[in-house]
Chains A and B, each alone.
Chain A
Amino acid sequence: MAFLFGCAAITVITTAGIVLVLGSETIHFFRATGESILEFICGTQLEPEAVPPRFGILPLIWGTMLIAIGSSLIALPIGLLSAIYLSEYAPRKLRAVLKPTLELLAGIPTIVYGYLALLLVTPALKGILEPIGLQVETFNALSACIVVGVMIIPMVSSLSEDVLSAVPRGLREAAYGLGATKFEVSTRIVLPAGLSGVVSSFILAISRAIGETMAVVLAAGLRPQLTFNPLTSIETMTAYIVGVTSGEASAGSPEYLSLFAVGMALFVITLTLNVISGFVLRRYREVYQ
């Protein structure tokens, strides 16, 4: 009993550990650099090696947003459409094949997607866009958006399909009974009824894209800049953290401490999104369960 309680307590201690580690080192960071939180979040210059160093992480936040938005543009519609297909259209046998395939995709390590971006996606983008006069850098945001988008499709489709299939059968029958087509039943009865569950899966997928590291490091590069051009290199918060660790920063230096502050920002953003997603999903469950 004490052992079992200890096991459960470890999960709580982990959370406490994360908050404590990020919190205390973030405070160290702000003390050591004398920056304000506002300068940190809204500053546009990120030059850890300059004298004095500058830590404005707005370019990182922007890079992260760019990846999140770009990958969502790919993953949300495709994921939702395939969820609708699996739950409303697919014959049972086809579904039995497609669902495990999607699960298999979800289990592929992100490093593989990152490699794919370098090997396949970026050369393809160069091949398509450079003949029409667009310069594509070897590390570019678009390539990262594409692979991260593909990566989170299974998450959107599988979670959305769960909620769409759970929409009571009686609603579908009622709609068909009034002479509705499959399209009308899917988009105007089933989808609205499962909407909060679908939204919840969207938020979770965006949160996942924000926290994604390896695919972004390999595809989008490590150049922090505020740009609207997705064909140039950017840096995300996760990539910055990896960059600092693999660099020369010595423990306790402002640059080293900054990785905790950026980690804190990342943690707060993803946690907020996850909590919102859980809240939305509970609202959905209240209606039907």
Chain B
Amino acid sequence: MTPAPLSPSYEPERQSRRILGPIFGLACLVATSTGVVVLSILLGAVVAAVIRGSQGGSVLGTLGHLLTSMQSSTPESAGFRAGVVGSLWLLGLVAAFSIPVGIGAAVFLEEYVSAGRIRRIIQLNIANLAGVPSIVYGILGLALFVRAFGYKNLAFGPTLWAGGLTLGLLILPVIVIATQEALRTVPNSLRQAAMALGASRWQVVRDHVLPSALPGILTGVILALSRAIGETAPLLMVGAAGSILRLPKGPSSRYTALPVEIYNYAKEPDPKYQAVAAGGILLLLALLLTMNATAIVIRNRYARSSRG
């Protein structure tokens, strides 16, 4: 292009302008790729630690051994059986409590309360609860569920009940918010159409709104549950810290959880325990990955069936 017929008072072709832009773009790209880099370093380091610990054996074999062994004072025979079983128990209890309550609260807020002061207060409350550090939930669980303010008859003690309810409260706001978002995607015309046929509000919700919001709700619920599975700090508060050598028999049993065992092994100075902890992390990540993959599959299947 020939130079622009430009009054001399403009100087768009500045050196700084030509240099700064690309540098900035590059910086942005580098910053973004830190995420991918960190993820690969993280996985690489953990896998490498497991391989180092398996001493020639296969990684899968090592993981299998970890999955079937209990805690032990020798790193060679230590495993996560009690923690995995405890975490699965917790998962069930958390789901049984927080899914109905979370969905119920969201349905109440979205379908039953008209925008007003009550809704604003509850909404603000939920938003703030979502930002409360998990350890504060642990303190709440300690005082409320484990000790019941010292009333021994009401207290659960350091049992699965206490752990499950604490984690249930912790992810409740996450489930409520995700469910509300899913309910908001259901078009209003659907509600009006059902109501015009004489359906009650509850019939509209049960037969039309919830089914069409279900994929979104399920995705949110699974992501919330996987957050609960990885939580460590609140469980340390409500009694999962001690060494547990027996599997829980029921929700009133004492327990430990996978991330808590990982923490206990990671604290040990003996590098052999480090390898055991790395194996536990792989188990934990595998569990989380399975849950996330399930969420994606559910989302895709429902998206397809509602389209077809």
- A residues touching B (Cβ–Cβ < 8 Å)? 1, 3-8, 10-12, 14-15, 17-18, 21-22, 25, 77-79, 81-82, 84-86, 88-90, 98, 101-102, 104-105, 107-112, 114-116, 118-120, 150, 153-154, 157, 179, 181-184, 186-187, 204, 207-208, 210-214, 217-218, 238, 241-242, 245-246, 251-252, 259-260, 263, 266-267, 270-271, 273-275, 277-278
Contacts and interface: CB of A to CB of B under 8 A. Distances in A.
Given A11-B125, A108-B285, A187 B24 contact: yes
Contact of A153 (B35, B202, B284): B35
Contacts of B128: 15, 271, 274-275, 278
B139 A259 contact: yes
B196 interface: no
Do most interface residues of chain A lie in helix, strand or loop, or is the interface mixed? helix
B17 interface: yes
Interface in B202-240: 202, 223, 226-227, 229-233, 236-237
A6 to B, nearest CB: 7
A111 B263 contact: yes
Interface in B81-112: 100-105, 107-109, 112
Nearest to A102: B35
B35 A82 contact: yes
Do most interface residues of chain B lie in helix, strand or loop, or is the interface mixed? helix
Interface stretch (B129-137, B187-195, B298-306): B129-137
Nearest to B18: A181
The 9 closest A-B pairs by CB, nearest first: A211-B133, A109-B230, A7-B104, A81-B31, A85-B28, A183-B21, A213-B233, A82-B32, A274-B131
B179 to A, nearest CB: 11
B66 interface: no
A5 B101 CA distance: 10
A17 B144 contact: yes
Nearest to B136: A267
Given A82-B32, A211-B134, A118 B266 contact: yes
Contacts of A78: 31, 34
Contacts of B288: 107-109
Given A119-B45, A182-B21, A77 B139 contact: no
B160 interface: no
14 contacts: A4-B105, A5-B108, A7-B101, A11-B105, A18-B136, A81-B28, A105-B35, A111-B281, A208-B133, A213-B135, A213-B233, A259-B139, A274-B127, A278-B127
A130 B211 CA distance: 61
B36 interface: yes
Contact of A260 (B125, B129, B143, B259): B143
Contacts of B132: 18, 211, 267, 270-271
A10 B28 CA distance: 43
A6 B105 CA distance: 8
Contacts of A4: 104-105, 107-108, 112
Contacts of B232: 109-111, 213-214
Interface string B157-181: 0000000000001001100100000
Nearest to A151: B38
A115 B266 contact: yes
Nearest to B230: A109
Contacts of A210: 133
A55 B34 CA distance: 41
Nearest to A120: B45
A171 B288 CA distance: 41
B286 interface: no
